[in-house]
Amino acid sequence: MLFDKETYTARRDRLKRKVKEGLILLFGNNDAPSNYPANVYKYRQDSSFLYFYGQHREGLVGVIDIDNHKEYLIGNDIDIEDIVWFGAVDSVADLAAQSGVEHSAPMSRLEELVTQARTQGRKIHFLPPYRHDQMIQLMDLTGIHPSRQREEASLELIMAVIDQRAVKTPAEIEEIERACAIGHEMHTTAMRLCRPGVSEQYIAGTISGIASAKGCMTSFPTILSMHGEIMHGYPSPRPLEDGRLMLCDAGAETNENYCSDNTRTTPINGRFTSRQRDIYSIVEACHDHVLDIARPGVKWWDVHMSVARLMTERLKELGLMKGDTEEAVRNGAHAMFFPHGLGHMMGMDVHDMEGLGQRYVGFDDEVQPSTQFGTNCLRCGRRLQEGWVMTDEPGIYFIPALIDEWKSKGIHKDFINFDLLETYKDFGGIRIEDDILITASGCRMLGHERIPYHMDDVEEFMAQRTN
């Protein structure tokens, strides 16, 4: 457990006060089968369950009966045959005591507790499930079909969880720093290995081995590709090619579920071409612009739009865009180059709390999500708060399928110079991403050691690397 039981008890007390009444169910994750029931992926506890209980064991459910002031940790103990296979483990009663929960009970008790509360007409609060085994369990408990569970999840519970998890304490930031330190080793190793002839898969696999060797995992499947223009470009067996760029978007997740998430775009032969410098310098300026303007009270929506305007200005200087900057951005023309959001909240999930609903995590009555292409991928818009961790990840991409589609339909033809754009179809894409903490007066980059990203620093690193 990362914290003491008083911390977990205090978190649950605050949750109870916010939700006010009813029965709260917090499902821990079970093992996830890969290719048959007993062959499972690396265990990954649900972040909200871990936040409120600190326990990593599979097969647990937390029950908080607000109305009757009772708390239960539900789970089945193991028997001697299990001990032969998995070793001796703490009893569920022991786990409950560690987490400051008064009662423990076997799984069979869960149905009784839920049935009783339903009979009494009390509200059953649950978070939107994303694991299908939990959907089946929830269906059996409540009669709600999996396809309706997301809409029937408790908004009170969702908002109460977001309220707490969004703001990170100094101790949580320390754990994120641990993830960033592993991420630093992953990214600098990728840059050291980057050269013509080495395969994307080899580098991506090697850096995921760095996280594994520390007993951790990557915070998401590593994106590593010469085709940076494919947002989720998974590593291929292709060898890296001289003159192209390698985009690597990767992060680590500690065993306490805290994440890092960085992207670097590295010239495969160690030196940027002049055309690559033109585009890279824009992304670099956008990345650093965020550091200047992000602070508590500022809408992340406005930070995103400010970056979009800066990018449009600079693309106009290169002749790739044209027309009025404000109008181009309002119409979404910049999304040809920057079709995703500037960044997302990060914490115990790399897209923090995304499973609870981006609508609730990143938006509010003041700032609503957009439906415009590109801006619809912005995962957060509302006013920044001290203690939030955000990613700062602008990028510029040249996506042949999108160029062809917009050109053929004449989309945003007043703002985009399609003739020049045609000549960039072999370019790929550039993204620079770091994790920033919103402080009292502004923000700061996380990670005690900086992964090189300024062009000169990147070229110097590549020239001086030893292996």
Binding site for a second copy (CB under 8 A): 29, 32-42, 44, 46-47, 80-81, 83-88, 130-133, 135-136, 146, 199, 201-206, 208-215, 220-221, 227, 230-233, 235, 237, 257, 339, 349-351, 353-355, 373, 399, 401-402, 405
Q: Nearest 5°: CA angle at 428, between 188 and 414?
A: 135
CB-nearer residue toward a second copy: 87 or 170: 87
Rounded-to-integer distance, Cα 175 and Cα 183, Å: 13
Say how far apart CA 17 and CA 49 lie, in whole Å. 18
Closest distance between a second copy and the C-beta of residue 440, in Å? 30
For β-strands 33-36 and 39-40, DSSP reports them as antiparallel
Nearer to a second copy, 23 or 26 (CB): 26
Contacts of 248 (CB under 8 A, 6+ apart): 187, 190, 203, 204, 207, 222, 223, 224, 263, 264, 265, 266
Name the 3-class secondary structure at 321: strand
Contact 350, 220 (CB under 8 A): yes
Given the complex with a second copy, which of 39 and 120 has the nearer CB atom? 39
Taking the least distance from each CB to a second copy, the nearer of 100 and 429 is: 429
SS3 392: strand
The residues that bridge with 225 in the sheet, in sequence order, are 247
Length of the chain: 467
CB nearer to a second copy: pick between 42 and 444: 42
Cβ nearer to a second copy, comparing 242 with 405: 405
- In angstroms, what is the minimal distance from the CB of 148 to a second copy? 12
Which CB, 258 or 415, lies closer to a second copy? 258
Q: Of 244 and 289, which CB lies nearer to a second copy in the complex structure?
A: 244
Minimum separation from the CB atom of position 131 to a second copy (A): 6
Closer to a second copy at the Cβ: 37 or 410? 37
What's the DSSP call for residue 220?
Answer: S
Q: How far is the CB of 349 from a second copy (least distance, A)?
A: 5
| 3-class state of residue 225 by DSSP | strand
CB of 208 to a second copy, least distance (A): 5
**Strands, sheet with 443-445, edge to edge from the N-terminal-most edge strand:** 389-392, 434-438, 443-445
Smallest distance, a second copy to C-beta of residue 365, A = 24
Residue 137 vs residues 28, 158, 197, 254, 465: alpha-carbon distances, Å: 12, 19, 49, 28, 52
**From the CB of 221, what's the least distance to a second copy, in Å?**
6
Residues facing 436 on adjacent strands: 390, 445
- Which residue is associated with the tokens 């009662």? 103
Contact call for residues 307 and 375 (beta carbons, < 8 A):
no
CB of 32 to a second copy, least distance (A): 6
**Angle at the Cα of 99 from the Cα atoms of 105 and 139, rounded to 5 degrees:** 45
Least separation in angstroms between residue 355's CB and a second copy is 3
